[in-house]
């Protein structure tokens, strides 16, 4: 039986953090079962941050180093860069001709962003940003991916993608593209240091690639049960960020820590120290792996080069079908050069 094809992507907009870890752990598991494409969405990154000088191919490289250190494996998955597969641009243009603007304007992500820009006094909702979901649809369907692991926030984009697919297949009376499904898998809900969602925009994140010193200082900043003043006061671990981290990264000790906290048998300082140790133990194999990878600077470039080549092969194949469906090919030519 043909294996299902997965495509997912991340924008290279800064250091990955612990909130990304369970997503990457899922990606790692998928590689054993599916035909996986993992994409650096660097064009997407530019839709909101076109003026960020840091958004170069080096940002892609940094992010992919994090992917590799947690075990995304170029032998098993196609790891590639969006901007290296120009066919995405062609398909994006073609689909823009059949996509009603109203479908894009009603996307909640678009409406939110416009609102945010307005509050910040900026007037920079670009043409490209409006097309964000369309470019994302292209990323998926150009590889004929049928499963897309995304967070809930991306579900409207996936629904939009399915609509575009139906419209295309209907207009050109053939099933060129499959309708992709969202693949909602469990992601550990990691909160940030302050108990809100972990996010760079809140500045409450713990980087994935870090060092013991930084981890210790981040953990010291975590909010605990505010009602607890003395180490002997009974605590409420269910409202404590530190405890929620023990649950994910210090599974064996979690129950005991929770009990001790409730009984006032453990102080927050000590509790945080033990979390920092657990986190460092959890992450250091990844850091070591990344140090090894950094010894061979060309390695990541090779991975991206080869992965992009593989991706391009598939994208070109799909584009031949698209051009044929739309009646664009010169007889005898595939349109690929």
Binding site for ligand SF4 (CB under 6 A): 224-225, 228, 235, 237, 240, 242-243, 261, 266, 268, 271-272
Residues in a beta bridge with 149:
183
Nearer to ligand TRP, 94 or 136 (CB): 136
283: contact with ligand TRP by CB under 6 A: no
Nearer to ligand TRP, 26 or 277 (CB): 26
For ligand TRP, the binding residues in 124-153 under the rule CB under 6 A are 136, 139-140, 148, 150
For ligand TRP, the binding residues in 32-91 under the rule CB under 6 A are 41, 44
What does the alpha-carbon distance between residue 112 and residue 92 come to, in Å, rounded to a whole number? 23
Of these partners, ligand SF4, ligand TRP, none, which one is at the site of residue 169 (CB under 5 to 8 Å by kind)?
none
What does the alpha-carbon distance between residue 310 and residue 332 come to, in Å, rounded to a whole number? 24
Of these partners, ligand SF4, ligand TRP, none, which one is at the site of residue 41 (CB under 5 to 8 Å by kind)?
ligand TRP
Of these partners, ligand SF4, ligand TRP, none, which one is at the site of residue 36 (CB under 5 to 8 Å by kind)?
none
9: contact with ligand TRP by CB under 6 A: yes
Residues in a beta bridge with 147:
6, 181
Residues in a beta bridge with 10:
40
CB of 67 closer than 8 Å to CB of 36: no
Of these partners, ligand SF4, ligand TRP, none, which one is at the site of residue 225 (CB under 5 to 8 Å by kind)?
ligand SF4
Q: How far is the CB of 46 from ligand TRP (least distance, A)?
A: 12
Of these partners, ligand SF4, ligand TRP, none, which one is at the site of residue 136 (CB under 5 to 8 Å by kind)?
ligand TRP
What does the alpha-carbon distance between residue 266 and residue 259 come to, in Å, rounded to a whole number? 9
Cβ contacts of residue 70 below 8 Å, gap of 6+? 21, 24, 25, 28, 208, 286
Q: How far is CA 22 from CA 26, 43, 72, 195, 317, in A?
A: 6, 24, 12, 18, 33
């Amino acid at each position: 039986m043909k294996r299902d094809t997965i495509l997912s992507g991340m924008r290279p907009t800064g250091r990955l953090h612990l909130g990304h870890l369970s997503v990457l752990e899922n990606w790692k598991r998928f590689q054993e079962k599916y035909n996986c494409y993992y994409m650096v969405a660097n064009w997407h990154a530019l839709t909101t941050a076109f003026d960020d000088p840091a958004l170069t191919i080096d940002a892609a490289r940094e992010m992919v180093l994090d992917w590799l250190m947690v075990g995304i494996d170029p032998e098993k998955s196609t790891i590639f860069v969006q901007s290296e597969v120009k066919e995405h641009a062609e398909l994006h243009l073609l689909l823009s001709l059949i996509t009603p603007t109203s479908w894009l304007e009603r996307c909640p992500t678009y409406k939110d962003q416009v609102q945010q820009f307005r509050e910040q006094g900026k007037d920079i909702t670009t043409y490209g940003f409006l097309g964000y979901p369309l470019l994302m649809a292209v990323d998926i369907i150009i590889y004929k991916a049928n499963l897309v692991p995304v967070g809930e926030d991306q579900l409207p984009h996936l629904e939009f993608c399915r609509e575009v697919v139906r419209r295309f297949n209907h207009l050109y009376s053939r099933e060129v593209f499959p309708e992709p499904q969202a693949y909602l898998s469990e992601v550990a809900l990691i909160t940030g240091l302050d108990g809100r969602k972990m996010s760079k925009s809140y500045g409450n994140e713990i980087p994935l690639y870090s060092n013991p010193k930084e981890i210790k200082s981040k953990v010291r900043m975590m909010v605990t049960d505010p009602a607890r003043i003395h180490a002997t006061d009974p605590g409420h671990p269910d409202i404590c960020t530190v405890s929620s981290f023990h649950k994910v990264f210090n599974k064996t000790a979690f129950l005991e820590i929770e009990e001790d906290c409730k009984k006032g048998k453990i102080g927050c300082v000590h509790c945080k120290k033990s979390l920092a140790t657990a986190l460092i133990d959890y992450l250091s194999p990844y850091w070591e792996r990344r140090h090894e990878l950094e010894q061979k600077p060309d390695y990541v470039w090779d991975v991206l080069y080869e992965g992009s080549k593989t991706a391009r092969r598939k994208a070109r194949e799909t584009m031949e079908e698209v051009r044929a469906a739309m009646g664009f090919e010169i007889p005898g030519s595939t349109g690929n050069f």
